[in-house]
Amino acid sequence: MSWTDERIATLKKMWEGGATASQIADELGGVSRNAVIGKAHRLGLKARPSPVKANDKKAAAKKPAVKAAPKKPAVKAAPKPAEKPIAKPAPKAEEPRAATAASSSVPSQPVPNPTPDLPKIVSVGPGGFLRQGPGDQQAPIPPAPPRRLVPAKPSPEIADKTSLLDLSDKVCRWPMGHPGEPDFHFCGEAVNPGFPYCVEHCGRAYQAQLPRGARRPPPPLPFGGPRVR
């Protein structure tokens, strides 16, 4: 899989939007998390809260980072000394990551987010939809500035809609609305077997070639067209 302009655009958008490398890799398909990170660096858009880099200690004379690579025939020398045993307390990990929310509470606006500086969660669709048509440079899709930060948990409005995280091989990936909008989601219907869309949207995505002169107006392809995996 090569890095096309579209894929790079998707990478940038998601990376800058705070999506993790894994999410991006999964979304793009055909690439690994490492590939995404590597590409991001080559694009010059690194810098994001990294667990490792958060460290600010200045270890003056640090030993050369040697790796005792057991699998690589590297020419490295100076084996790494033995590790020191460390006691690890019971880890407490608990963070809902999937977008499942069936909350029974009324769809009222919960408490306003007191910390609006949370990482925004971006909605980037299949194929990377920065393009509206083959020719025209993305005329920035409608003014969707008045958008609120999407909370970490799905908001009530989209609780029952197919979000980016709900995409699978079995649901229709046809985008509904525009990315960035609070209610942006995906069709979510059962797919037409063998296609990324449901029957209805397959009809929109794939149209028979009509004889010359009898062409219909441009078919409304989704952003960038169907993904090819």
Closest distance between DNA and the C-beta of residue 28, in Å? 10
10, 21, 175, 197: which one binds DNA (CB under 7 A): 21
Closer Cβ to DNA, 96 or 219, answer by number: 96
Q: Does 74 bind DNA (CB under 7 A)?
A: yes
**Cross-strand partners of 175:** 186
CB proximity list for 185: less than 8 A, separation 6 or greater: 158, 161, 162, 163, 175, 176, 177
Q: Does 118 bind DNA (CB under 7 A)?
A: no
Residue with tokens 């057991």: 70
228 is an interface residue for DNA by CB under 7 A: no
Report DSSP letters for 9-71, one per residue: HHHHHHHHHT--HHHHHHHH-SS-HHHHHHHHHHTT---S--TTTT-----SSPPP-----SS
What is the token pair recorded at 1?
């899989």
Binding of DNA by 68 (CB under 7 A): yes
Q: Is 32 in the site for DNA (CB under 7 A)?
A: yes
Q: Using alpha carbons only, give the angle 129, 131, 137 rounded to the nearest 5 degrees.
A: 150
> Among the candidate windows 66-74, 166-174, 204-212, 216-224, which touches DNA by CB under 7 A?
66-74
- Interface characters, 82-101, with DNA (x: CB under 7 A): ---------x-x--------
107 counts as binding DNA under rule CB under 7 A: no
Number of residues near DNA (by CB under 7 A): 41
Instruction: State yes or no: residue 12 binds DNA (CB under 7 A).
Output: no
Out of 58, 60, 61, 65, which residue is the one contacting DNA (CB under 7 A)? 65
Residues 204 and 196: their CA atoms lie apart, in Å, by 12
Query: Any idea which residue has 């460290």 for tokens?
Result: 55
CA dihedral 56, 57, 63, 65 (to 10 degrees): -20
Q: What residues make contact with DNA under the rule CB under 7 A?
A: 1-3, 20-23, 31-35, 37-42, 46-55, 65, 67-72, 74-76, 80, 91, 93
